[in-house]
Amino acid sequence: MLPTRTTIILLAVAALGLLLLGRGALPAQAPPAVAPPPAAPPSPYTAPDWHAVLAGTDPLRLLVVGHKAMLAWKGDADVRVSYAATDADVYTAHAGEQVGVVRTPEGGCALRQEGKNFLTVTEAFRLTSPKPILLWTPQPETWRIVHGPVVITPLADNTFGIAQELLLEDYLRNVVCGEMPASFHAQALRAQAIIARTYTLAKLGRHADEGADLCDEVHCQVYGADANRSRATDEAVADTRGLVLMYGDTLAEAYYHATCGGVTDDAGLVWGPEYARPYLVGGTKDSAVKESAAIGDILCASGGYCKRSNGYRWTRVFSATEVNELVSRNLTKVTGDPAAKMSKVVNMNVEERTPNGRVARLRVEGDGASYVVIGDQARWLFGTGDPGPEGLWSTLFDLTVTRDARGAITQYTFKGAGRGHGIGMCQWGADGRARAGQSYREILAAYYPGTKVVTGK
Ligand SMILES: [Zn+2]
Ligand SMILES: [Zn+2]
């Protein structure tokens, strides 16, 4: 990322702070020049050790919903409430009896029935029942059926985080069917199961501020409906039980995406240097792409392990008016620069690409100013400004800007390849490789060079 005006100001403030607090700058007896900042509220949840989760001795917590100021539950059998840390009894409701919990203005929590608070609870608590638990949350009003223990954590913003506890292998059965079509080849499903297991263990505690490990959406991994599970997806999890992807002694950060469009890319170049890893270097060829090929040649390359994907090649056309609206709405967000505002674009061009052809820098000029949009942010400029399906499907695109006789822009045409960020495993490519006879080990070795599939301990 380029330093923005805000980061420059923050750096200046930090430098001033160092001067004020520098040991040599103050006499020995002087009081501190700056009061220490107030301690941050403690994280409500400490993630379990990944070895214990892999062994099945500790469950993981899947975020059901975060930041609700109240909720209620009931069950077809007794629902026991106990403190999550100690398992000490709090209250047990009989079958069909509905209990609510609210945050109180003082920052506490109270169990509630028939319009009255009847019991104060002081920390995270667990609901357990021999039958599924029916959970109600407001705004929007939702009833959910949850199979298994539910942990409710009071959060720092005076709301609750609600998480389901489940064992890794049970969780993975719904993730594999949520992240990959069950019709994919058995070896591709096995590769998916291994990287979903690895990704899960590497990301435990990602939602600790909401009292959970992972959420059930694209942000972490999609937790598919039971109806999407099949014998093939269940077998992929069971047959790879305990297998993880390691780089040396550490779990690999096994990012994956739908379709590379012909060639994968380098995490450090697409997302920024903090994401660079020796095994996320990209350059894995899913089609007959030559080294450092021009974008036009990549788009024309023949064959392709991921060519069955509907995102293998795509075209999107925007009018000048549409792009002006998108840029005026999203430029601040995608550049991270509060001063980046523009109402009329007069020029847009790809200024730099990664060695594998993805857009590294997109130049946008207008209103007498000029900005650069970096890497994957170029996709979100043409959507909502945030990651999502509305943006461009990939940054592996060629941009043609059409102008009228007076030189004013009339149209933007994006011809692209692939769907997703292009880092790590290409899911459609994994299926293509499996159909061509590759094993899940060969598939993973291709997309994460230097890693090993091992039985985690
Ligand atoms: Zn998440
Ligand atoms: Zn691919």
Question: Taking 80 as the threshold, does the pLDDT of residue 28 lie above it?
Answer: no
pLDDT given for residue 155 in this prediction: 92
Tell me how far the alpha carbon of residue 205 is from its chain's centroid: 13
Question: Taking 50 as the threshold, does the pLDDT of residue 325 lie above it?
Answer: yes
The band of 106, judged by pLDDT with boundaries at 50, 70 and 90, is: confident
Cα–Cα–Cα angle for 70, 387, 330, rounded to 5 degrees: 105
What is the whole-number distance in angstroms between the Cα of residue 219 and the centre of ligand 1? Answer: 4
What is the whole-number distance in angstroms between the Cα of residue 401 and the centre of ligand 2? Answer: 27
CA distance linking residue 315 with residue 293, whole number of Å: 20
CB-based contacts of 295, cutoff 8 Å, min separation 6? 350, 353, 357, 396, 397, 398
* Average pLDDT over every residue of 290-317: 91
Question: Taking 80 as the threshold, does the pLDDT of residue 42 lie above it?
Answer: no
Instruction: Give the ligand with the smallest distance to the CA of 427.
Output: 2
Query: Which comes out higher in pLDDT, residue 412 or 302?
Result: 412
DSSP state of 419: B
Instruction: Give the ligand with the smallest distance to the CA of 223.
Output: 1
Instruction: Give the ligand with the smallest distance to the CA of 217.
Output: 1
pLDDT given for residue 35 in this prediction: 44
pLDDT given for residue 108 in this prediction: 83
Domain boundaries, the chain: 60-166, 169-253+436-455, 255-423
Question: Taking 60 as the threshold, does the pLDDT of residue 4 lie above it?
Answer: no
CA distance linking residue 104 with residue 102, whole number of Å: 6
Closest CA to 86 of 119, 129, 123, 41: 123
What is the whole-number distance in angstroms between the Cα of residue 218 and the centre of ligand 1? Answer: 7
Distances (CA, A) of 1 to 78, 114, 154: 53, 54, 35
The band of 291, judged by pLDDT with boundaries at 50, 70 and 90, is: confident
pLDDT given for residue 43 in this prediction: 54
pLDDT in tens, 264-278: 999 999 998 999 999
Instruction: Give the ligand with the smallest distance to the CA of 446.
Output: 2
Instruction: Give the ligand with the smallest distance to the CA of 63.
Output: 1
Query: Which comes out higher in pLDDT, residue 330 or 218?
Result: 330
pLDDT given for residue 290 in this prediction: 81
Q: For residue 116, list its beta bridge partners.
A: 113
Strand boundaries in 95-220, DSSP class E: 99-103, 109-113, 116-121, 125-128, 133-137, 142-146, 150-154, 160-166, 214-215
For the ranges 94-108, 177-191, 348-362, the lowest mean pLDDT is seen at 94-108
The band of 384, judged by pLDDT with boundaries at 50, 70 and 90, is: very high
The band of 105, judged by pLDDT with boundaries at 50, 70 and 90, is: confident
Orientation angle between helical segments 186-202 and 231-239, nearest 10 degrees: 60
CB-based contacts of 24, cutoff 8 Å, min separation 6? none
What is the whole-number distance in angstroms between the Cα of residue 220 and the centre of ligand 1? Answer: 4
Report residue 15 as tokens: 């430098």
Question: Taking 70 as the threshold, does the pLDDT of residue 19 lie above it?
Answer: no
What is the whole-number distance in angstroms between the Cα of residue 12 and the centre of ligand 1? Answer: 33
What is the whole-number distance in angstroms between the Cα of residue 214 and the centre of ligand 1? Answer: 5
* Average pLDDT over every residue of 413-435: 97
CATH code for the domain defined by 60-166: 2.60.200
What is the whole-number distance in angstroms between the Cα of residue 62 and the centre of ligand 1? Answer: 9
Instruction: Give the ligand with the smallest distance to the CA of 220.
Output: 1
Q: What percent of the chain has pLDDT over 70?
A: 91
* Average pLDDT over every residue of 321-334: 98
pLDDT in tens, 146-186: 998 999 999 989 999 999 999 999 999 999 999 999 999 99
> Token pair 């107030």 is at which residue?
38
* Average pLDDT over every residue of 397-413: 97
Closest CA to 255 of 61, 263, 264: 264
CA distance linking residue 419 with residue 55, whole number of Å: 34
Report every protein residue that has its C-beta within 5 angstroms of ion ligand 2: 260, 286, 306, 426, 429
* Average pLDDT over every residue of 288-315: 90
Question: Taking 90 as the threshold, does the pLDDT of residue 94 lie above it?
Answer: yes
Average pLDDT, the chain: 90
CA distance linking residue 285 with residue 263, whole number of Å: 5
pLDDT given for residue 457 in this prediction: 80
Instruction: Give the ligand with the smallest distance to the CA of 396.
Output: 2
Q: What percent of the chain has pLDDT over 90?
A: 82
Query: Which comes out higher in pLDDT, residue 52 or 12?
Result: 52
Question: Taking 80 as the threshold, does the pLDDT of residue 21 lie above it?
Answer: no
pLDDT in tens, 363-372: 999 999 999 9
3-class DSSP state for residue 20? helix
* Average pLDDT over every residue of 331-337: 96
Closest CA to 429 of 313, 307, 247, 336: 307
